[in-house]
């Protein structure tokens, strides 16, 4: 669907139009009738109609009010379509389809992709899977391992809560207007039991945020106030090492030693 809508920079709008790429995304998602599909940022509806026809119902979250009427007019007869005119950064996805077993799909605005990912991770207990188009650099960070220049807070926290699968890269020409960077499609599969590990996740988030706040400093300095050198050594972590050298199990050991979590 094309509406002639002029993409708005403040919303980070780059509309997908390449049918080959759209087909690859649909095959990756493989929607089925009755599933609880939620699309974030449907835009002009490049994916929306196919998702709606495959599942029979679809909820979408769209911030640009000018795009909502054309979506409903063009696609509302294909199935049960509900469009929430809302900012995905503040939206409670647990309200969709009774808040259980959600499948999220979206071409996420690149200017808010990282905070939006953290917002969604906070609601991962009601999500079955997520398929997102993101700036390739963000996906590189999500899948990065220790020792990589792209390894950081996003890498650790996403991999803690989800299995992360990079699917394929998308060139700028697949969008209108074409962004200045390549994009990539990623699949996130939330791990079981994360809702019951809320305290651990909070402590891990504190440790990881502090550790990567000043990447060039050693952990004895960045974690001061949370953990002492004796705590680091008890976790088999060299106080003179830096955050990018630690894997997820090491960060979890450190999180388990935090006794004065911040509010």
Query: What is the tens place of the pLDDT at every residue in 190-221?
Result: 998 876 688 899 999 999 999 999 989 999 99
Question: Contact at 8 Å (CB) between 46 and 15?
Answer: yes
How far apart are alpha carbons 12 and 133 in whole angstroms? 13
pLDDT of residue 262: 52
Burial of 116: CB neighbours in 10 Å, binned 0-12, 13-18, 19+: buried
| CATH number belonging to the domain at 9-192, selected among 3.90.1150.10, 3.40.50.720, 3.40.50.300, 3.40.50.150 | 3.40.50.150
Residue ranges in the chain assigned as alpha helix (H): 19-29, 48-55, 68-75, 113-121, 136-143, 153-161, 198-213, 219-222, 229-234, 248-257
For the stretch 43-83, pLDDT in tens is 888 999 999 999 999 999 998 888 899 889 999 899 999 99
CATH topology of domain 197-257: Helicase, Ruva Protein; domain 3 (1.10.8)
Domain ranges (residues) in the chain: 9-192, 197-257
Question: Contact at 8 Å (CB) between 108 and 134?
Answer: yes
Look at residue 22 and give its three-state secondary structure: helix
How far apart are alpha carbons 232 and 238 in whole angstroms? 7
């Amino acid at each position: 669907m094309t509406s002639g809508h002029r993409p708005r920079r403040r919303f980070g709008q780059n509309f997908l139009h390449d049918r080959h790429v759209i087909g690859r995304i649909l095959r990756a998602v493989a929607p089925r009738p009755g599933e609880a599909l939620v699309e974030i940022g449907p835009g002009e509806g490049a994916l929306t109609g196919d998702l709606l026809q495959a599942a029979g119902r679809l909820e979408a979250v769209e911030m640009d009010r000018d795009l909502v009427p054309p979506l409903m007019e063009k696609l509302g007869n294909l199935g049960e379509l509900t469009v929430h005119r809302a900012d995905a950064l503040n939206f409670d996805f647990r309200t969709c389809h009774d808040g259980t077993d959600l499948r999220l799909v979206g071409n996420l605005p690149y200017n808010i992709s990282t905070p939006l990912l953290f917002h969604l991770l906070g609601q991962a207990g009601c999500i079955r899977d997520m398929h997102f188009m993101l700036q390739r650099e963000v996906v590189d960070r999500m899948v990065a391992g220790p020792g990589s220049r792209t390894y950081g807070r996003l890498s650790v926290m996403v991999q803690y809560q989800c299995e992360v699968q990079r699917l394929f890269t998308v060139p700028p020409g697949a969008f209108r207007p074409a962004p200045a960077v390549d994009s990539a499609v990623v699949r996130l599969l939330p791990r079981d039991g994360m809702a019951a590990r809320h305290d651990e996740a909070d402590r891990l988030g504190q440790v990881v945020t502090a550790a990567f706040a000043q990447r060039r400093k050693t952990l004895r300095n960045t974690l001061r106030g949370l953990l002492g050198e004796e705590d680091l050594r008890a976790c088999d972590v060299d106080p003179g090492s830096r955050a990018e050298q630690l894997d997820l199990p090491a960060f979890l050991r450190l999180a388990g030693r935090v006794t004065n979590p911040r509010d």
